């Protein structure tokens, strides 16, 4: 008899991914594409992906797509996940930052995961 390892074979069903999310949990695939706004309800960008810490299994960063036109020329910024709060009225995440601060933030480019300390230091700095 062949044993199935659920870690290797587990996949969410379509129903899981498309079901309304009224509780505290959300499928990672549904986070991607969610809009992000400032505290003043100004549209900043959208979540492209989330990054998980392999050791803890916790979401560490939301990768925010910002700028560009119709997807061209946009930059991607790793925002600490705990900076974002979901706003049901807006149907998106709200973050305490403005476009000027975001424009100076570290971008998600090749090798950025190795610079996690400097990224965390940037977001820990008080806003001016």
Among 77, 86, 65, which residue's Cα sits nearest to residue 108?
77
Counting every residue, how long is the chain?
A: 128
Percentage of the chain exceeding pLDDT 90: 23
Dihedral pair phi/psi, residue 77, rounded to 5°: -120, 130
Percentage of the chain exceeding pLDDT 70: 71
> 3-class SS at 2?
coil
Q: What is the pLDDT of residues 42-100, one digit of tens each?
A: 999 999 999 888 888 889 899 998 876 665 678 888 999 999 999 989 999 999 987 78
| Matching CATH number, 25-123, of 2.60.120.10, 3.40.50.2300, 3.40.50.300, 2.30.30.240 | 2.30.30.240
Q: Rounded to whole angstroms, how far apart are CA atoms 115 and 105?
A: 13
Q: Between 25 and 4, where is the model more confident?
A: 25
Among 5, 107, 11, which residue's Cα sits nearest to residue 61?
107
Domain-by-domain residue ranges, the chain? 25-123
């Amino acid at each position: 008899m062949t044993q199935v390892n659920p870690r290797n074979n587990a996949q969410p069903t379509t129903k899981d991914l498309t079901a309304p999310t009224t509780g505290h949990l959300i499928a990672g695939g549904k986070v991607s594409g969610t809009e992000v706004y400032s505290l003043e309800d100004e549209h900043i960008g959208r979540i492209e992906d989330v990054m998980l810490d392999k050791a803890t299994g916790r979401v560490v960063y939301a990768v925010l797509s910002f700028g560009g036109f119709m997807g061209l020329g946009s930059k991607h910024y790793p925002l600490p996940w705990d900076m974002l709060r979901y706003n049901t009225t807006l149907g998106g995440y709200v973050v305490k930052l403005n476009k000027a601060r975001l424009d100076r933030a570290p971008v998600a480019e090749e090798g950025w995961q190795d610079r996690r300390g400097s990224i965390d230091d940037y977001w820990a700095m008080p806003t001016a």
